[in-house]
Amino acid sequence: MGAYLAAGVLGLAVGRFLSGLIHAALQEAPLGGAMRRLPGCGCRAGLWDRLPLVWWIRNRGGCRRGGHTVDAVYPVVELLTGGLFAAAVFFVGLVWSLPAYLWFVSVTASLGFIDFRRRLIPNRILLPGTAAGIVLLAAGAVLDDRLGDLPEALSSGLGYFLVLLAMNVLARGAIGMGDVKLAFMLGVFAGYDRWETAVTAGIGAFALAGAASVLLLVFRLRSRTDFIPFGPFMVAAAWTAAAWSLASGTGLP
Ligand SMILES: [Zn+2]
């Protein structure tokens, strides 16, 4: 229980950093100083504003300093990161690859939210995020004596990457290059358990995006020609597939 609590609190704190990072990425501002600014408007953060959710409650869901309204996405990011960290402890366990998974959910949560808001996956987070994630996973694999699982993980990432790349070439515009590059990291972390999990992650992304498009059309929230970002569905499907695989011991549901 203590481990979940510790992971949840750590996740909230990391989430505060991520909400600042996401805000900077959405503004195309420098990524440094994520803690020194209020997420959502960029005003200078006081000492208490560096605490997750506290800044949001203190400013009553807005920004008292400048009278700005704050996108509700930011407190959601912080709560979600707390939940994801606790879930990672539950599904991955207290092993050496856990830091890699905490990194993975942090990077992919940020990219999912940025894509959701801006329909864009910034390289300056995606590329270093992927590189560091793979280094952490490799280090975890060495310490957990699972070095033999790394080739399968990397080929899963490459497979997911190539499938989306083919779709990008064949169906222009439907799948962006950001999604193609994101697929590599998602495939690696899903496929570290077994390659079938990466397949489930890919199929799941299309199933989720398809279901969401139908719902949005039925409820007339989007028109047929509106573009729906694919990244958030890829991320959600990869998390779910990995959790399912780790919990059930089978790659396919
Ligand atoms: Zn403000």
Rg (CA), the chain: 18
Residue closest to 89 by CA, chosen among 76, 102, 108, 77: 102
In this structure, the answer to whether residues 131 and 225 fall within a common structural domain is: yes
Asked if 87 and 240 count as a contact pair (C-beta separation under 8 A), the reply is no
What's the CA-to-centroid distance between 203 and ligand 1, angstroms?
41
- Ramachandran area for residue 122 (φ above 0: left; ψ -120 to 50: alpha; else beta): beta
Residue numbers of the domain that contains 235: 95-253
What's the CA-to-centroid distance between 20 and ligand 1, angstroms?
13
In this structure, the answer to whether residues 65 and 163 fall within a common structural domain is: no
Question: pLDDT tens across 193-210, in order?
Answer: 999 999 999 999 999 999
Q: Give the mean pLDDT of the chain.
A: 92
- Ion ligand 1 residues within 5 Å by Cβ: 41, 43, 63, 66, 68
Question: pLDDT tens across 40-92, in order?
Answer: 888 888 899 999 999 998 888 878 878 888 888 999 999 999 999 999 999 99
What's the CA-to-centroid distance between 45 and ligand 1, angstroms?
9
Q: Residue 38 pLDDT more than 50?
A: yes
In a domain, 32, yes or no: yes
Q: How far apart are CA 41 and CA 62, in angstroms?
A: 9
What's the CA-to-centroid distance between 24 and ligand 1, angstroms?
13
What's the CA-to-centroid distance between 99 and ligand 1, angstroms?
34
In this structure, the answer to whether residues 72 and 128 fall within a common structural domain is: no
Last-in-domain residue among 79, 113, 133? 79
What's the CA-to-centroid distance between 79 and ligand 1, angstroms?
21
Q: What is the mean pLDDT of residues 15-21?
A: 95
Q: How far apart are CA 113 and CA 235, in angstroms?
A: 10
In this structure, the answer to whether residues 125 and 209 fall within a common structural domain is: yes
pTM: 0.93
